[in-house]
Structure 1
Amino acid sequence: MRGSIRALGRLAGGLYLLLLYLFVMGPLLFVIATSFNPATSFPSRFEGFTLSWYAAILERPEFLAATGTSALVAALAAALAVLVAFLAAYALSRQGGAGGRGAMATLLASPLLVPQVVVSLAILQLASSFGIGTGFWGLVAAHAVYVMPFALRLILTGFARFDFAVEEASRSLGGGPLATWREVTLPLLRPSLVAGFTFCFILSFVNLPLSLFLTGPETATLPIVMFAYIESRIDPMIAAVASLIVLAAATATLLLDRFLRVRLVD
């Protein structure tokens, strides 16, 4: 009787997990499947199989240019966010249980509590007040502010397992502060740093609200171009672009896990 109950429990648990995975992955799988649909509207019934929508992307130079812009903005924003997050996490971890550590960590994570539209409008107002305008670097700064808390959390997790005694050992052997960081601290924290950079890059690359008020014709990111495209028509080419983004993110995750032993998901 007990064996039957356990088997029934395992079956129910497996069914629950299956339904949960379908709920989370279902929309994504639908978008990927739609990208191969030859229909000219989206969404629509499946009419067959085609790669024409992927070929159509190559015929849209604005999509290719926007992809390069998004990649550059995301790379710079992620690098800046990881740098700031590392310095902040190092200082917070060095404090140990000192008072104010939690308040400072909460303050640094506060951009997560503010809607992205509000952050972008605030940066737009700030740039206008100082007469520097917006553009590429304003966009990088906005994205860096938004993604920095994610990097901070990942790097703080890395410092939670970090033994600062190894730094003391390095310095007792004649290593200076910079040499200790370069040879000891950064290598030990490499998984957290790489994971933080990759996660921030993906978040920045696909971000729309922050870019909506801060881009111009020369700095349009891929989400902005996609948004402008669907204002006039919606076809499976958008699904094809989204599928390529998902493929790139999945490939990066697998490569990090395979070669650098860095896990973005558990």
Structure 2
Amino acid sequence: MTTTINGTRIAQRIRSQVAEEVATAARSGRIPGLATILVGDDPASAVYVAAKRRAIKEAGMRDFHRFLPQHATQDDVAAVVDELAADPQVSGILLQLPLPPQLDADALIDRIPVTKDVDGLTTASAGLLARGERGLRPCTPSGVIELLDAEKVPLKGARVAVVGWGELVGKPLTHLLLRRGATVTVAHEFTTDLAAVTRLADIVVVATGVRGLIGPEHVRPGAVVIDVGIHRTPSGLSGDVRSAELDGIADRITPVPGGVGPMTIAMLMVNTLRAAQWGAEREAVVA
């Protein structure tokens, strides 16, 4: 039988640990704070930001939220980012994506100081990751690594197929896996004979945004499958993997929902705490 990886349980354990550390920091007067910026009226974005704000409050952190209307200009959003960047109470800044079409998301993200880039999406953060230097890593790839560690899945020497080459998951996850000693092959939905690539892997991580792309023909018996995709369908949420068809083939698999999704918010909490801690370190050195 295939074991379902309980991402919700693992994420809750991480969030509880963060809350304990925040409570300790609060006793010395240092409370981490996350600033979320929501631009426009995208319903899904509003739901995601609300979930992140709830998690922040539950962890005992400060919640700094800014909302801008759909017609906000580049200068409007840039001014908010700059204001939060200069605020010493704000440990981390998250600009919720996607943005309205008139805005240049890359330019706005790169205005976030690397020390407050809790999404790990700035060019500077990507450089630190590529060089293996200390920095804030993208939340979803970090969550995938935490899931594998929690399940005691060996990474050193493992053959891993990362299906998806995106900036949010595929590329940063590849760097994280290589740093852990895995042998990584990057593929995508356009790969010729995708099954020939993925069936060699001990671990298959799928983040393509293509619903149901991966099935039993892509997975060797005993492999671990991590499904990062999430799609809304009339019958509920589904992922990039046809999970039901892998029962009895995969050793372990993440469900959708309840797999990688909860880990993303948990790692956002971790990043906000780390940003606050590292900020305190820098202040101590300056003093």
TM score, norm. by length of structure 1? 0.25
TM score, norm. by length of structure 2? 0.24
Greater relative CO, 1 or 2 (CA 8 Å, sep 6+): 1
Q: Which has the higher helix share?
A: 1
